[in-house]
Amino acid sequence: MALATLTSRVDEGDKASFISFCDSVGLTTSAAINLFVKTVVRERRIPFEIRLDDPFYSASNQQHLMKSIQQLRDGNGTPHELIEDYDE
């Protein structure tokens, strides 16, 4: 099996933390990256969830928004004038 080199740029702090973690679990950084690559190739997916935690989409906020929308539909809203902020 021929070997190839894979080069990647990462933040210096992240690199140091990664090396420290790998050392603590008895892996070389190369072995850890190879584990990742082999898992991606075998499973044909990123082996962990990638998501953006946005509090706007949290269940509690969505419930609050739906309640507020229903209150407006029921005629329980209070009209306000638009306040323009020209100080920016």
Decide if 62 is inside a domain.
yes
- The segments of the chain whose pLDDT lies below 70 read 87-88
Decide if 65 is inside a domain.
yes
Predicted model pTM: 0.56
Q: pLDDT at position 72, please? A: 92
Q: Which domain holds residue 47?
A: 13-74
Decide if 79 is inside a domain.
no
Q: pLDDT at position 84, please? A: 82
- Which tokens hold the place of 76? 């329980």
Domain count, the chain: 1
